[in-house]
Amino acid sequence: MDRKEVLVSGADIARQREFTAKIKAMFQARGAHPTACVDTFGCQQNVADGQRLMGMLEEMGFTLVSSPEEADTAILNTCAVREHAEDRVFGNLGALSHAKRANPEMVIALCGCMAQEPRVSARIKKSYPYVNLVFGPQALWKLPELLWQVYESRRRVFSVEDEPGRLAEGLPVVRDDSVRAWVSVMYGCNNFCSYCIVPYVRGRERSRDASCVVEEVRGLVASGCREITLLGQNVNSYGNDLQNGCDFSDLLEEIDRIPGDYWIRFMSSHPKDATPKLFSTMARCSHVAKQLHLPFQSGNDRVLAAMNRRYTRERYLELIRCARAAMPELVLTSDVIIGFPGETEAEAMDTVSLVREVGFDALFTFLYSPRPGTRAAELPDPASREDKQRWFDTLLAVQNEFSARKHAAYVGSTVRVLVDGKSDDPDYPLSARTEGNRLVRLRGGEKLIGSFASARISGSNTWALYGETEE
Ligand code: SAM
Ligand code: SF4
Ligand code: F3S
């Protein structure tokens, strides 16, 4: 697609501002003080989208509230990655019917990844008549226009066309955390891993201009933000669509030149596109945290091919060796799926053996969940739920042992941490993160929140480190 067609034009953005102004004026004329809630499920990309939705709602004159039941306009920003995520949303929608009965003027909207699935929008159309608006991730920037249609016509609005997606710059944003921020560098996914719904609901890969990303990060650093996570489904393919030679490593390098005391993280990286250039750039850039989230999904070559991941176990291990050679202190995390259709016990144990071989600091483990519309959902799946659960438990036990051992190795050392908030543990009232993104429960004064500190690590378990600040 031509870059001009990908970028939402200034005129289109101006049109949305007109709808924003109309909605604001409408409420003012009624003397109304409307409230809105964006309830976000799913990944950080969705959280970042939710912050844009909140930004647009605030500009329309809404006061943001935290519970959808209390809101005049409630938006459920949904995730479709696993069946469980979808079930939760349908449950929440059901609960909202009571709020709508109490407040018939209430507007209920469903957006995000689930909204883009044809079978979901059909179900909403048929069985959830009190949902006023359904729009997919590609239509997010049009929220003012879509809401105006709902308010004006009181008809149900569905904006769920199957679009490759566009890029809208300059949308307002509400960030609830002043210490840490999410910045999307690209949207969509072209990879079509056979189990995954994301490419079907988030459109094609499109990268933001490096200058826009750099300016956003610069603004965040200037406002005191200390940790910025760059987001994309596969940040390693950043720039492929820009045709100006700028790749993700170049983007990191440019961001790193912004002066200030801050950490840059990024996720996710796809192993098929991770390169030695990325690792040497990470090693060289002082602001880039020496931490890598590199999902491997399976340790067995047959399963990897069936997943359409386009790398082998050996290639993955080679990447890890290369990354560790460039950054000996690297903290490594990954995603893994157990129970892909047709996976045997021996194949699942190859995944467990890869976990042992690499020694990850932490792992996000998932039981395979069939997603209608994906290729894997059509495959025979003979293994029983009980067998898959057993393999999963084996994997978890191995990883927990590694996590505990890795954490124990910090005890007695002093590490630099970013204090990012309060914790729920009265003995360790602060929550902090190491450069490798390990959670630290910390003793110290609240005035440290938002700053880097030196922490003496005195204890650990599988999930966290414990320490005292050196004032
Ligand atoms: N783009 C990222 C990547 O490829 O690494 C992953 C994004 S996906 C939203 C997050 C994780 O969810 C994946 O890495 C995968 O482990 C898991 N996942 C995706 N589809 C799944 C499915 N159908 N069942 C179980 N887990 C799934
Ligand atoms: Fe899904 Fe694969 Fe794309 Fe990640 S890279 S979002 S797992 S299709
Ligand atoms: Fe994220 Fe879920 Fe969509 S993981 S990209 S919100 S399907």
Between the CA of residue 220 and those of 9, 12, 126, 139, 263, what are the distances in Å? 25, 26, 44, 26, 12
Alpha-carbon span 360 to 174, nearest angstrom: 34
The SS3 call for residue 232 is coil
113 CA to middle of ligand 3, Å? 6
Q: Which CATH architecture has domain 3-159?
A: 3-Layer(aba) Sandwich (3.40)
**Distance between Cα 89 and ligand 2 center (Å):** 22
Burial class (CB in 10 A: 0-12, 13-18, 19+), 427: exposed
Distance 196 CA to ligand 1 centre (A): 6
Extended strands (E) in 101-249: 107-112, 133-135, 157-159, 180-184, 186-187, 206-207, 227-231
Q: What is the DSSP letter of 8?
A: P
Strand ranges (E), 2-126: 35-40, 63-64, 73-78, 107-112
The fold of the 414-469 domain, in CATH, is OB fold (Dihydrolipoamide Acetyltransferase, E2P) (2.40.50)
Distances (CA, A) of 316 to 193, 196, 406, 419, 438: 16, 20, 21, 33, 23
Q: Which residue's CA is the closest to the ligand 3 atom numbered 2?
A: 79
Distance CA 174, CA 36 (A): 13
Contacts of 195 (CB under 8 A, 6+ apart): 307, 337, 340, 368, 371, 374, 376
Going by alpha carbons, the residue nearest to atom 5 of ligand 2 is: 191
Q: How far is CA 413 from CA 201, 283, 290, 434, 454, in A?
A: 45, 22, 18, 12, 10
Domain limits of the chain?
A: 3-159, 180-407, 414-469
Ligand 3: atom nearest CA of 81 is: 7
Choosing from 45, 196, 292, 298 the residue with most ligand 1 atoms within 8 A of its CB, the one to mutate for a pocket test is: 196
Task: Please choose, from the candidates 126, 127, 95, 90, the residue with its C-alpha nearest in 3D space to the C-alpha of residue 110.
Answer: 90
Please indicate, yes or no, whether the overall pTM of this predicted structure exceeds 0.85.
Answer: yes
Query: What is the per-residue pLDDT for 471?
Result: 65
Predicted confidence at residue 279, as pLDDT, reads 98
Ligand 2 in reach of 192 Cβ (< 6 A): yes
- Ligand 1 pocket check: which of 81, 192, 193, 354 to mutate, most ligand atoms within 8 Å of Cβ? 81
Does domain 180-407 match CATH 3.20.10.10?
A: no
State whether residue 419 is helix, strand or coil: strand
Ligand 3 pocket, residues with Cβ under 6 angstroms: 42-43, 45-46, 79-81, 112-113, 197-198, 202
Q: What is the residue-level pLDDT of the chain in tens, covering all 471 positions?
A: 789 899 999 999 999 999 999 999 999 999 999 999 999 999 999 999 999 999 999 999 999 999 999 999 999 999 999 999 999 999 999 999 999 999 999 999 999 999 999 999 999 999 999 999 999 999 999 999 999 999 999 899 999 999 999 999 999 999 989 999 999 999 999 999 999 999 999 999 999 999 999 999 999 999 999 999 999 999 999 999 998 999 999 999 999 999 999 999 999 999 999 999 999 999 999 999 999 999 999 999 999 999 999 999 999 999 999 999 999 999 999 999 999 999 999 999 999 999 999 999 999 999 999 999 999 999 999 999 999 999 999 999 999 999 999 999 999 999 999 999 999 999 999 999 999 999 999 999 999 999 999 999 999 999 999 999 976
State the CB neighbour count (10 A cutoff) for residue 312: 14
* Residues in contact with ligand 1 (CB, 6 Å cut-off): 43, 81-82, 195-196, 198, 233-234, 268, 270, 295, 297, 335, 337, 366, 368-369, 371
Question: Which one-letter amino acid corresponds to residue 426?
Answer: P
